[in-house]
Structure 1
Amino acid sequence: MAYYLAYAPVGVEIAELAQVAGSRWAIEECFQAAKNECGLDQYEVRRYPGWYRHITLAVLAHAVLTALAAQTGGDERGAAETDQPSSRSPWQRSGACWTLS
């Protein structure tokens, strides 16, 4: 049996509360993917600044990978498992900067 204690305004519908509670699973799946793909859980640091930098970079890397997968219509398989030939990178160099085209 599972239950949630919700602190919400009086007029909130049960369906909306259930939707918010259900979003927990999507968040947990995102963290698990970041652990598997970007090494979110691979830090061995002794101080807070090092931990904070590692977590920030791992989450940023996961966001970039997710955006690239969404842009290219990627699926759940890794790059080595796809049958499609490699395509040109969406990143273009413009002077000293890189932009996503």
Structure 2
Amino acid sequence: MRAYVRGLPGESERKNGWTLAEAAGQSGPERMRRLLNFYARDSDGLRDDVRQSVVEVPGDARHGVLVVDETGFLKKGVRSAGVARQYSGTAGRIDNCQIGVLLAHASDRGRALIDRELYLPRERSDDRSRCRAAGIGDEVAFATGPALARAMIERSVAAGAPFGWVSADEI
């Protein structure tokens, strides 16, 4: 798992079992594939644990802010969830990509990503067989980027994430 996480920000253009295994100095992709395909993971539980850590350590109720942003992940293939030809600020053009909506907490004590959602274009969210093949459950429906951001903020507020409200007079 450590080798996998270290390999994600690496120089390799494509991140898959082979390239991550090579970056980790492994002779083949078997260990990476086993990690990615067979071990149960709880992405939402991990998100909640990270958010709780931020609340306990760098969280700041007076000066902390929640920051919403989206980013594009350029993709060559079409099998990843949510991949479509759409505008990506990362590329500066319409390209084959995924769009992630991200929520961070930032203060003078530090910053950390505390939530994430994958934007599914309507044509992808309406294609239920393709969603199932990509591991997206039938309960996941189309939502706009602002709706995804609102849901993440609501989760953070419900979890007690500390942040201050800035009035127009303070800007």
Tell whether the structures are fold-level matches, with TM greater than 0.5.
no
Q: Give the strand-richer structure, 1 or 2.
A: 2
**Structure of greater relative contact order (alpha carbons < 8 Å, 6+ residues apart):** 2
Which one has a bigger Cα radius of gyration?
A: 1
When normalised by structure 1's length, the TM-score is: 0.29
Q: Give the helix-richer structure, 1 or 2.
A: 1
When normalised by structure 2's length, the TM-score is: 0.21
